[in-house]
Structure 1
């Protein structure tokens, strides 16, 4: 089975078209059957709006992978999808891309909860204005220092899990 066919079947199995969003971490590894790749970034697809937002903490290091995914979404939908390379807090080293993806997803989850769910905007479209508000928020709150702090928190959680498993 081809990767494209597998992806299409997977999306259909989760009732993808009934969702508002797809949050998808992407890696620049072109050989999906082999571990590898050197960079992670994040795609958020607003299904209703047909907009694919790309968050890349190393400028456009993952641009080619994002464009490949963009083409696959257009083929899946049989429609045009707008790809937007968003402003994104930038990492200051060569190894924090995965942490940036994790923190952006956490912040996005918090943002959607506070701005849509708590305010009972169940039918609100996740349009460009709402995403712009989110982008402005993460630009202010995500700093190399906050990412470093999150790394320490995640390390402590993992060490705790390892300790618990040894018991």
Structure 2
């Protein structure tokens, strides 16, 4: 039952096990995060200069040699986007999903600045620095890495890091679209986090109903 497919959405598949995760206080999986980022790309920010990189591709970049990174990024044509979002976790195994913490790395390409939004006392600092260093060499190997700490609300539990990640994605995207602002992005609110699981569940059911009726 837990493996039953609830929704197929572009390249994302949501199963009953993902629904169960969203209904409880559990760590978000790659599939949930990947689904939500695809939704933003396909339906919310279609005409904006945003690229939402999947958790799987981010993990491959993080775990690959510099010479291999174009294999993963070139098909995405990243140089045509102004803002690129990377969902980052601390999993060290490229061959499987896992890890214990999510955070968000955002690259503002024209400014050549990376911001790292970490909801748990910079737990992913080493991973963010390693990933940003590789990405800097890919985008502009002749310039120095400029990695800054994003203004990030801190989580009060050990399971909501993925929720904070998605709320931070929403927040950065909205601020950039509304104010064309790339620095001093304000923190998300506790209410953003509080209602996010229910919001994602509602979105899944709405898209499921739309798919059935189409």
Report the TM-score, using the length of structure 1 for normalisation: 0.76
Deviations 1:49-78 (CA, angstroms, capped at 9, x unpaired): 111100000011111110110221232221
Q: State the partner residue of 1:91.
A: 155
> Of 74, 78, 91, which residue of structure 2 is paired with 1:16?
78
Q: Is the 8 A contact 2:167 2:192 kept in 1?
A: no
Deviations 1:11-69 (CA, angstroms, capped at 9, x unpaired): 22332223212111101001111121000000111111111100000011111110110
Q: State the partner residue of 1:57.
A: 119
In 1, the alpha carbon distance for the partners of 2:74 and 2:103 equals 24
> Of 189, 199, 203, which residue of structure 2 is paired with 1:153?
199
> Of 179, 183, 190, which residue of structure 2 is paired with 1:115?
179
In 1, the alpha carbon distance for the partners of 2:73 and 2:212 equals 38
Q: Secondary structure at the match of 1:91?
A: coil
In 2, the alpha carbon distance for the partners of 1:59 and 1:72 equals 23
Q: Secondary structure at the match of 1:67?
A: helix
- What stretches of structure 2 of length at least 5 have no aligned partner? 1-62
Q: State the partner residue of 1:102.
A: 166
Asked if 1:80 is matched to 2:127, the reply is: no
Paired residues in the alignment total 148
In 2, the alpha carbon distance for the partners of 1:165 and 1:45 equals 34
Superposed, 1:105-144 pairs within 5 Å as 105-116=169-180, 130-132=182-184, 134=185, 136=186, 139=187, 141-143=188-190
> Of 64, 68, 72, which residue of structure 2 is paired with 1:3?
64
- TM-fit CA distance, 1:161: 5.9
Alpha-carbon distance change, 11 to 61 in structure 1, aligned in 2, over 3 angstroms: same
Alpha-carbon distance change, 21 to 159 in structure 1, aligned in 2, over 3 angstroms: closer
Report the TM-score, using the length of structure 2 for normalisation: 0.61
Q: Is the 8 A contact 2:91 2:99 kept in 1?
A: yes
Q: Is the 8 A contact 1:54 1:84 kept in 2?
A: yes
Alpha-carbon distance change, 50 to 158 in structure 1, aligned in 2, over 3 angstroms: same
> Of 97, 118, 126, which residue of structure 2 is paired with 1:35?
97
Q: Give the CA RMSD over aligned residues.
A: 2.4
